[in-house]
Amino acid sequence: MTFLIYAYFCNMLENKNSSKTSLSDLGEFALIDHLTKKFGLENKSSHMGIGDDAAILQHGNKPTLISTDLLIEGVHFDLSYMPLKHLGYKAVMVNISDIYAMNSIPQQITVSIAVSNRFTLEAVEELYQGINLACKNYKVDLIGGDTSSSTKGLILSVSVLGCASEKKIVKRDGAKENDLLVVSGDLGGAYAGLQVLEREKAVFKVNPNTQPDLSNYAYSIERQLKPEARKDVIELLDELNIVPTSMIDVSDGLSSEILHLSKASKVGFHLFEEKIPIDPEISLICQEFKLNSTTAALNGGEDYELLFTIDQKDFDKIKNHPLLTVIGHACDNKAGCQLITGLGHQIEISAQGWQSFS
């Protein structure tokens, strides 16, 4: 007993004298790099590990891709305006988007949940109705998971398995100088929807009898509460016989994703502000909230669009296509990543999107 007390106080003294690094000083991706830098791959079946949207395993003729995400109440979602059915649906979208981001097809998911005693059976059933709808819409099988209790709130962990032929899998590290930078859909919608929902939540707290009129914000709110993964874009690229040179999904904001591609591919990027696709509704919401719409597109996140690079020879195949927009090009790594404004000014791109530990 005396030894244990001595050891305890020695440990306390050591902790007091040693310097501590806040996780917010690192950020999510630097933390991952720091914690996993000493880990290697021991098995031949581990074809590619940490560092992309999904890991790649080789157990048969076709590679298997696997990815996982964690959603925590109060951090990733707010149940005061997020319906449980929508949450279940979105949890699946967040994960299968990572598989599409590697030009591959998701096939199975596992779902693990931890719930506090404030949730009823009917509430959990509603959550799984959303998961079931997502599985049906995207032809994905729920094959397992786990359930546990939580001392506070709801926690969801979803893992996804997918596959593709080896020659079609696209990683982040294949972009080369002069490749075109392309994005699907439009950007900033999820962030704009979040601003509207947070405002209405604040109004409701002051006056619970208030009935908000959200008809002018339908598109942006849907982008936040019920996003869709871009299966259609993967199918389109296959039809056009285009295999991107690099790819990622836009989950943390366009700026962060461009920097990820830049780091992995060792190239710079020129992004043209006037080319960034922004829906008119989003522009109006940004005006209403006195926000810069470009800032919302660059840093908002949760759009789950696909950002990728293609060889210039494939430009005619996507030219003027309504689903795809060329927003820039890859350049020499020494040039860095630059936003080119409408006036021709260059602004260095920095990652100001979602930061898990901020």
Q: Find the CATH number of the domain harbouring 142.
A: 3.30.1330.10
Higher local confidence (pLDDT), 312 or 358: 312
Query: Does residue 353 lie in a domain region?
Result: no
Residue 296 in any domain: the answer is yes
Location of structure tokens 């962060």: 256
Closest CA to 21 of 11, 35, 5, 37: 35
Q: What is the dihedral of CA 89, 92, 93, 95, to 10 degrees?
A: 160
Please indicate, yes or no, if residue 15 is contained in any of the structural domains. no
Cβ count near 320 (within 10 Å):
7
The domain containing residue 108 runs over which residues? 27-163
pLDDT of residue 141: 94
Task: Please check whether residues 114 and 261 belong to one and the same domain.
Answer: no
Per-residue pLDDT band at 211 (split at 50, 70, 90): confident
Cα–Cα distances in angstroms (integers) from residue 56 to residues 39, 44, 107, 170, 336, in the given order: 16, 11, 14, 11, 29
Both tokens assigned to 202: 């604040």
Domains of the chain: total? 2
Q: Is the pLDDT of residue 352 over 50?
A: yes
pLDDT at 34 (0 to 100): 58
Asked if residue 1 belongs to a domain, the reply is no
Instruction: List the CATH number of the domain containing 184.
Output: 3.90.650.10
pLDDT band per the 50, 70, 90 thresholds, residue 165:
confident
What is the rounded CA–CA span in Å between residue 191 and residue 169? Answer: 30
User: HSE on the CB side for 270, CA within 13 Å?
Assistant: 15
Same domain (yes/no): 146, 188 = no
94, 208: one domain: no
What's the confidence (pLDDT) of residue 39?
A: 54
Same domain (yes/no): 129, 197: no
Tokens 């007390």 appear where? 5
Query: Is 277 within a domain?
Result: yes
Share of the chain above pLDDT 90, in %: 73
Q: Which residues contact 53 (CB under 8 A, 6 or more apart)?
A: 67, 98, 99, 101, 102, 172, 247, 248, 249
Q: Say yes or no to pLDDT of 42 above 60.
A: no
Single out the residue in 133, 163, 193 at which a domain terminates.
163
pLDDT, residue 184, reads 98
Buried b vs exposed e over 154-187: b needs ≥16 C-beta within 10 Å? bbbbbbbbbbbeeebbbbbbbbeeebbbbbbbbb
| Residues 44 and 98 occupy one common structural domain | yes
Torsion of CA 250, 267, 351, 69, to 10 degrees: 40
Residues 205 and 141 grouped into a single domain: no
Give pLDDT tens digits for 44-91.
555 454 555 577 777 667 788 999 889 999 999 999 999 999 999 999
- Least confident range of 170-179, 327-336, 349-358: 349-358
Q: Are strands 337-340 and 268-272 parallel, antiparallel or unpaired?
A: parallel
